Amino acid sequence: MLDGNMVCSCLVMAPEAQGKKIETIEGMAKGDQLHALQKKFIEFAALQCGICTPGFLMASRALLAKNKNPTETEVRYWLAGNLCRCTGYDKIVRAVMEVAADMRGAAR
Ligand code: FES
């Protein structure tokens, strides 16, 4: 996240980031306290090798900051730029939907 906007980190040159607020997966947990998305990814086995996981978590957090009640289609479209070769996406989408429901206090 660069100044609150999602960016493809591999496409941002260092001078473009100078003076901007940078948020990465390293700042998502608060000490030993995992973010709700991190907990749910673990609970739902929404990760395997973990290579894609930081991107999915950061993108999911950005989605839920904008939309606390996303449809499954909206979650899938939002995360479409993130690729996972292990999970098949369903577990990731279910984890995000579950956190969204928890944030709304929705009954399931
Ligand atoms: S968990 Fe391996 S690429 Fe997503």
Ligand 1 centroid, distance to 18 Cα (angstroms): 30
Tally helices (H) and strands (E) across the chain. Answer: 5, 0
What is the radius of gyration, based on Cα positions, of the chain? Answer: 14
Looking at residue 75, the DSSP 8-state letter turns out to be H
Residue nearest to atom 4 of ligand 1 (CA): 84
3-state secondary structure of 85: coil
pTM value?
A: 0.93
pLDDT at 108: 62
Domains of the chain: 24-104 (1.10.150.120)
Output the tens digit of pLDDT for each of the chain's 108 residues: 999 999 998 899 999 999 999 999 999 999 999 999 999 999 999 999 999 999 999 999 999 999 999 999 999 999 999 999 998 899 999 999 999 999 998 766
Q: Is 19 in the pocket of ligand 1 (CB under 6 A)?
A: no
User: Are the CB atoms for 95 and 35 separated by under 8 Å?
Assistant: no
User: Are the CB atoms for 94 and 75 separated by under 8 Å?
Assistant: no
